Structure 1
Amino acid sequence: MYAIKLPTYQLPLVREVGFMTDEKGVLNHPHRKLDNINVFIFVVKGKIEVIEDDNFYELSAGSYLFLRKNITHWGAGSYLPGTSWYYIHFYDPPTVIVPLEDYHNFQQTSLIAEETYNQQLKLPKKGSVTQPDFYTLQLDKLIEQDKSQDEIRPLLLSQMTYALFINLYKHSKESKVHPRTQRIIAQLTKICRQASKKLSGKEISQAMDMNYAYVSTIFRKETGKSITQFQNEILIEKAMDLFKTEVNNVSEVSEKLGFSNAFYFSRVFKKVTGMAPSVYLNQNYQVTHKNEAGT
């Protein structure tokens, strides 16, 4: 399996997009090895069979496949009559010197941390979608843009392709999560968001009527973070709302949110946002109130 990995800070650089139909079923996928070019195929109708380095893939309507650069691939047989498909050829981003972690961003604050964009999307090798019309609409817009004479056409094509790939990534990830796991995470996040303070493991266990270690393991596996981290993010988001909407200093906000002291609150705030609360206050708009005398 030759996975396609895209850094979150880099667009897939499009070389060519297209749509093809084989009405008579006389074509098959070309035997080739594309230097530095990845291939994306999305089948609208019919069937396509492709072999990549002895791995066999069968594509039917609503399914897609990524073929990796510098790996030989070829057709296993002729297409079915009436087969139609879209394709995108795109260059790999520049070589990443430092290995990147797979993407995780179950983040609950409105501030997006810089390291969020220093990860990679591991795109599904092969998959199928439940709403093919949604993806064909995106691909039709790509084809339309490709025909334009706009001087920034390459950038627009790459941007639109990235949006398409992100949707496929999101759909693939969501489809792999077991319904029971989804229910556990949804229940946990609801409990944490509605709480007025940080909950202990015992309190979470009682509220969910489940073993805390089991819930914690599932949550970390699916989100990439601990329940404590998640609760801290919720509290810091509340802190930022207080800073924006009320005249509060750090000690007041810390006390309102149930932190043991302002020093600990400041430490958690900086860990979540990457800056001290005093710096955040200086960088953002604040609400001021006039006194009753109108001064």
Structure 2
Amino acid sequence: MSHPVIISSSSFPLLHEIGLMSDEKGLEKHPDRVMEKLNVFVYVIKGQLQVIEDNEIYTLKKGSYLFLRKNIHHWGDEFYQPGSQWFYIHFFTNDVQENVNEYSTYGKTSLIHHEEYQRKLTMPKYGEVSHLGYTESQLEQILEMFESSHPMRPLVTSMYTHQFFLDLYLENLEAYTNKKSNRIVAKMIQLIDKRDRQKLSSQEISESLGMNYAYLSSLFKQHTGKSITQYQNERMVEKAIQLFRKENFNVSEVSDKLGFSNPFYFSRVFKKVTGMSPSDYLRQIYRG
């Protein structure tokens, strides 16, 4: 059974220790242990390591990595391959509630809501990196900061580690972008984003993709965490904000330019998305 390491999108992993290890003669095995509070990350530079977690066997070779979850028994039965070299990171994470949704890279606008930070990032259990040199330079940077006398060493090393883990997370996501369901959602987003004014109707979306709207709506929600209507509203408000900032248009002008039926409906949508009315927003911003 796989035990994924889960990171909250509202906090970064807190680094406890990072090290660069080697076993020139192949005399060592992975430690037999249960680390109650610490997660483990292992990345192999050269050679081969065997790691077993809860009876699941992983063979790590050059360019591969593994995340081990805290409080789960892990060990190694086989000796490391002679000449092996690897990085390890021990880090703390805050526990994430089971009902928290996975972070989605789909359906993003320039409007950032508080809910964006209430998500979870399920790290890939095992993987191979595409750019070995870049990965090793990132780990060397974290190690260098960890060994430095920087006055904010714990925070800076944790920030570097967070960025490194996010890069692995994103690289792993790219491997799944060719799934049929992902391609359909990407087409929907492309269709919506091309629209300059007025929201697309459910019929227009359904006919453009040649698929049932109820199915498309369910798929969109599953992948983005938003309804199609919510995403379209955010896109329209995003365009409205650009017009307010760059063109100095008033509420009625923007409402008309974006194809809303009337300024009152536009204001209601704007407030639902941003939490404030267009007039309140205009009083708070710098205008070009």
Q: Within 5 Å, which residues of 2 pair with 1:117-156?
A: 117-156=117-156
Corresponding position of 1:290: none
Matches of 1:31 and 1:248, distance apart in 2: 67
Is structure 2 residue 259 aligned with structure 1 residue 258?
yes
Give the AA of the match of 1:111. L
Structure 2 residue identity aligned to 1:28: K
With structure 2 as the length reference, what TM-score do the two structures score? 0.90
Matched with 2:23 is: 22
Distance 1:83 1:65, change over 3 A: same
What secondary structure, in the 3-state scheme, does the structure 1 residue paired with 2:230 have?
A: helix
What does residue range 87-102 of structure 1 map to in structure 2 within 5 Å? 87-93=88-94, 95=95, 100-102=100-102
Q: Which residue number corresponds to residue 54 of structure 2?
A: 53
Deviation at 1:32, TM superposition (A): 1.1
Partner of 1:85: 86
Superposed displacement of residue 74, structure 1: 0.6
Query: Structure 1 vs Structure 2: percent identity of aligned residues?
Result: 47
Q: Report the AA paired with residue 270 of structure 1.
A: K
Q: Partner of 1:64 in structure 2? A: 65
**1:107, 1:233 within 8 Å by CA — same for their partners in 2?**
no
Alignment partners' CA distance in 2, 1:33 and 1:131: 31
Do 2:28 and 2:80's aligned partners in 1 also have CA atoms closer than 8 Å?
A: yes
- Judge conservation of contact 2:12–2:93 (CA < 8 Å) in 1: no
Paired residue for 1:293? none
Deviations 1:112-147 (A, max 9, x none): 111211222121222222223221121111112122
Provide the C-alpha distance between the structure 2 equivalents of 1:161 and 1:101, rounded to a whole number of angstroms: 23
Distance 1:77 1:175, change over 3 A: same
Residues 51 and 73 in structure 1, CA contact (< 8 A), matched pair in contact too: yes
Equivalent residue of 2:175, what SS?
A: helix
- Find the aligned partners of 1:148 and 1:235 in 2 and give their Cα distance: 48
1:16 deviates by 0.5
Distance in 2 (CA, whole Å) between partners of 1:194 and 1:249 is 24
Instruction: Give distance in 2, aligned partners of 1:29 and 1:155.
Output: 29
- The 3 A distance-change label for structure 1 pair 86 and 170 is same
Letter in 1 for 2:113: A
Segment of structure 1 superposing worse, 153-162 or 120-129: 120-129
Q: CA deviation at 1:224?
A: 2.4
CA distance in structure 2 between the aligned counterparts of 1:63 and 1:245, rounded to whole angstroms: 48
- Alignment partners' CA distance in 2, 1:209 and 1:98: 36
- Check 1:5–1:198 CA distance in 2 against 1; reply closer, same or farther (3 A cut): same
Residues 177 and 183 in structure 2, CA contact (< 8 A), matched pair in contact too: no
Q: Partners of 2:70 and 2:83 in 1: how far apart?
A: 28
Aligned-partner Cα distance in 2 for 1:283–1:121: 34
Deviation, structure 1 residue 181: 4.2
The reply on whether 1:166 has 2:182 as its aligned counterpart is no
Q: Which secondary structure state, in structure 2, belongs to the residue aligned with residue 176 of structure 1?
A: coil
TM-score, normalised via structure 1 length: 0.88
Counterpart-to-counterpart distance in 2, 1:133 and 1:210: 44
What stretches of structure 1 of length at least 5 have no aligned partner?
288-295
Q: 1:272 is paired with a residue of what secondary structure?
A: helix
Contact residue 102 and residue 121 of structure 2 kept, 8 A: yes
Instruction: Summarize deviations over 1:147-189 as a string: whole Å, max 9, x none.
Output: 2111111111100000011111111222123354454344332
For 1:77 and 1:271, locate their aligned partners in 2 and report how far apart those are by CA, in whole Å. Answer: 59
Check if 1:271 corresponds to 2:272. Answer: yes
Classify 1:99/1:184 alpha carbon distance in 2 versus 1 (closer, same or farther; 3 Å). Answer: closer
Cα distance between partner residues in 2 of 1:284 and 1:11: 31
Over the aligned positions, Cα root-mean-square deviation in angstroms equals 2.2
- Counterparts of 1:182 and 1:68, CA distance in 2: 28
- Larger deviation: 148-157 or 99-108? 99-108
Give CA-to-partner distance per residue, 1:12-43, whole Å, 9 cap, x none. Answer: 11110011122222211011112211111111
The one-letter code of the counterpart of 2:252 is S
Residues 179/7 of structure 1: CA separation in 2 closer, same or farther (3 Å cut): closer
